[in-house]
Structure 1
Amino acid sequence: MNTDDLITSLAAHAVPVRRGWIVRRIAVGAGLGALGTLAMITVQLGFRPDLMVAMHGFAFWMKWTYTISLGVIALLAVAHLARPEATSPRWLWLLAVPVAALAALATGELIRTPTADWPALWMGLSWKMCSTRVATLSLPIFIGLVIAFRRLAPTRLRLTGAVAGLAAGACGATLYCLHCPEVSAVFVLTWYTLGIAVAAGIGALIGPRLLRW
């Protein structure tokens, strides 16, 4: 059998993918991973005792708006890159929008705060552990995304791994907000973003090995 006949034979048994199947599979993988992250927070860190009060404040929603925005954009890019014919998602530049918005808030904080108080604003009470925790909490979500890719066909493996890591980092940071009491935009812009970037870097490093098919 020549190559053309083989391709024709294989294509004859191909079943069309249902509309939205890839997005649903990615969502299920991320969702199951998020349950693992929630379990880690519950067992290892605990939820902040004033969570219900904090959810009525600006700082909490500032953090969630930032991390959820990054997560949604990255997850859409992951779903796009799951297809074998996928091009680079040029709209990833939209990730700069929540970063720029938070940077504007952080600048406003610094302007309103005496210079002597800038270190406290920047470091908060948990800067030494924040980025590490965000990156660690991203791991179950990243694993969930990798499992979801077992029936998908990405071809740009390093980029896909990086974006999947970024999505996992943003989702992990979103759930970390349920524990973290920090309220400064400067803190979130620095240490949350660093943790998300570390998760993206890990994804870029191990993505080609885990996502190959």
Structure 2
Amino acid sequence: MIHHELFNFVFSSDTLSQLLNEQAGSGEWIKYLDDVILDIKFRKDQLLLTLGQVPDQIFFLLRGSVRAYYYNEEGKQCTFYLWDEFSIVTDIVNYMEKVPSDLYIEVCEDADMLAIPRRSLDRIINQFPESLLFLNSILLQYTRHHRERDKEAQSMTANQRLNKLVKIKKKIVSKFKSEVIASYLGMSRGYLYDIKSKR
């Protein structure tokens, strides 16, 4: 089975060199990677990562929704990421550094995912060193995400941030609870309800 969704997502990135694209086009490379990808189903409320665990898998979300959260100093749960279909799911910084995570990653609705264990990806990179660009592509995605969030926090109102989120991710409101969306946007649930009632 060829996992076209993942390959199309990764190989469409501008960060991948022509060398990697050429290598990806070979049957040998595709088969090697395809053989290590795991198809996994997860149930709602299942945790993919917990506090103190070293991330050792990269997931690709095919169906469902997933979020990452942490607890602040007051013990309040703060949503850090919201992922919907066709997203790379992991704590990429701690994955790269091989250190324990400070995040929880939770399945918010039943999900179908592809998973690449670290040991398998390490073997791929050892055999095809240019595959490091796969990780570079993921790092770039996360860097862009945080850059956009920083800009939004400095230049946009809460209402504008919500409008942008809904525009980019049209199904977001149906996939996540209001308190999760409010936490992600840095607003109270009551304030989010007020905004949504005026929409």
* TM-score, L = length of structure 1: 0.25
Q: Structure 1 or 2: larger strand share?
A: 2
* TM-score, L = length of structure 2: 0.27
Q: Structure 1 or 2: larger helix share?
A: 1
Quick one: higher RCO (CA 8 Å, sep 6+), 1 or 2?
Answer: 1
